[in-house]
């Protein structure tokens, strides 16, 4: 077990980063909102393979929640998170409070276009502005060489890559495969909201997506296949489907059969919104 350093101020974070840089160490960052599960720990493991030091931020970022969303009830378990990071061998946990990240008078936001258009943005119009703003701040505070993001939040991964390209942020973005339970359910902090019966239904999301991606790859009509997938999710017990959509894998532009694609979905189980995505193999 390592000696994890825990800091909650930008000044203390920068002082430690400066020391590591002086020693010529490469730094990887894993930005999180805490409530760490095996998916997050897999990101830490990848970060440790990529760099000599791994910094994990834990910050439930208010600017990416709409007033109607679950900011207040979002799971918070800092003591447990710190234990898990220690076990995983991370080197530093950055756990700022809201006033440290957004002091009084804070008035800037970053708005990304391109891959941020559509999908999540159609239903959570301010979400990616909040994500891009906090990720840019974290990158400027920690100055990592690379950062690891899960493919589970596939659109977010594309948005962060676009953000770094457009703002010349010198951070290599590494996408990490989604960690799933033995039934295919993607690990998510929001799974904590689900009861046993809902978990059973939630597990259908991935199988419906995989089946639909295979149909698309085999030549199925996109509109009917994604429409059928949405109906299958409702039949399985989802309350509402926000979208099931095929996109080009790199840019999230409309899917073309001759390019690698991604099939993405968001659906509601009671009051919990789940997202997932799978690869559509190229023709």
Q: Which residues form the catalytic set? A: 40
User: Which of these segments, 65-73, 90-98, 127-135, 194-202, binds ligand PAF (CB under 6 A)?
Assistant: 127-135
Among 4, 27, 28, 33, binds ligand PAF (CB under 6 A): 33
Q: Kindly report the backbone phi and psi dihedral angles of residue 103, in degrees, each rounded to the nearest multiple of 5, phi listed first.
A: -65, 165
Among 153, 222, 248, 276, binds ligand PAF (CB under 6 A): 153
The reply on whether position 179 binds ligand PAF by CB under 6 A is no
Among 35, 134, 147, 249, binds ligand PAF (CB under 6 A): 134
| 193-204 b/e (C-beta count within 10 Å ≥ 16 → b) | bbeeebeebbbb
Among 42, 61, 178, 212, binds ligand PAF (CB under 6 A): 61
Q: Kindly report the backbone phi and psi dihedral angles of residue 230, in degrees, each rounded to the nearest multiple of 5, phi listed first.
A: -65, -40
Contact 27, 17 (CB under 8 A): yes
The reply on whether position 81 binds ligand PAF by CB under 6 A is no
Enter the DSSP assignment of 203: T
Q: Kindly report the backbone phi and psi dihedral angles of residue 249, in degrees, each rounded to the nearest multiple of 5, phi listed first.
A: -65, -40
**With respect to ligand PAF, which residue has the nearer C-beta, 64 or 121?**
64
Q: Which residues contact 152 (CB under 8 A, 6 or more apart)?
A: 39, 178, 179, 186, 187, 188, 275, 276, 277
Among 4, 44, 135, 185, binds ligand PAF (CB under 6 A): 135
What does the alpha-carbon distance between residue 22 and residue 16 come to, in Å, rounded to a whole number? 10
Among 31, 115, 144, 261, binds ligand PAF (CB under 6 A): 31
Least CB distance from residue 214 to ligand PAF, whole Å?
28
Q: Which residues contact 212 (CB under 8 A, 6 or more apart)?
A: 220, 225, 226, 228, 229, 244, 263
User: Which of these segments, 3-11, 129-137, 223-231, 274-282, binds ligand PAF (CB under 6 A)?
Assistant: 129-137
Site of tokens 């532009």 = 253
Tokens of residue 70, six digits: 């679950």
Enter the DSSP assignment of 99: H
User: Which of these segments, 13-21, 83-91, 128-136, 271-279, binds ligand PAF (CB under 6 A)?
Assistant: 128-136
Judged by CB under 6 A, the number of residues near ligand PAF is: 10
User: Which of these segments, 117-125, 131-139, 164-172, 180-188, binds ligand PAF (CB under 6 A)?
Assistant: 131-139
**With respect to ligand PAF, which residue has the nearer C-beta, 135 or 252?**
135
Sheet strands side by side (includes 272-280): 240-248, 261-269, 272-280
Least CB distance from residue 221 to ligand PAF, whole Å?
33
Sites of contact with ligand PAF (CB under 6 A): 31-33, 61, 64, 131, 134-135, 153, 156
């Amino acid at each position: 077990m390592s000696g994890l350093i825990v800091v909650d101020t930008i000044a203390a974070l920068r002082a430690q980063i400066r020391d590591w840089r002086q020693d010529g160490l490469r730094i990887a960052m894993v930005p999180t909102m805490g409530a760490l599960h095996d998916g997050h720990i897999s990101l830490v493991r990848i970060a440790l393979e990529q760099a000599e030091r791994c910094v994990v931020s834990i910050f439930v970022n208010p600017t990416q929640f709409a007033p109607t969303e679950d900011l207040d009830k979002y799971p918070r378990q800092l003591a447990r998170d710190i234990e898990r990071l220690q076990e995983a061998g991370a080197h530093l946990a950055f756990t700022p409070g809201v006033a440290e990240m957004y002091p009084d008078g804070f008035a800037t936001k970053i708005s990304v276009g391109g891959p941020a258009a559509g999908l999540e943005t159609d239903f959570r119009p301010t979400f990616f502005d909040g994500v891009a703003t906090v990720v840019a701040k974290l990158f400027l505070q920690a100055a990592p060489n690379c950062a690891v993001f899960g493919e589970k939040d596939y659109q977010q991964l594309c948005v962060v890559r676009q953000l770094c390209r457009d703002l010349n942020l010198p951070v290599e973005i590494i996408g990490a495969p989604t960690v799933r339970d033995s039934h295919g359910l993607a690990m998510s902090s929001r799974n904590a909201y689900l009861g046993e019966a809902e978990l059973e239904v939630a597990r259908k999301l991935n199988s419906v997506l995989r089946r639909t991606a295979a149909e698309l790859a085999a030549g199925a009509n996109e509109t009917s296949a994604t429409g059928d997938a949405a109906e299958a999710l409702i039949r399985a017990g989802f309350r509402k489907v926000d979208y099931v959509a095929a996109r080009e894998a790199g840019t999230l532009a409309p899917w073309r059969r001759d390019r690698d694609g991604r099939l993405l979905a968001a659906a509601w189980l009671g009051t919990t919104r789940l997202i997932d995505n799978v690869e559509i193999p190229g023709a």
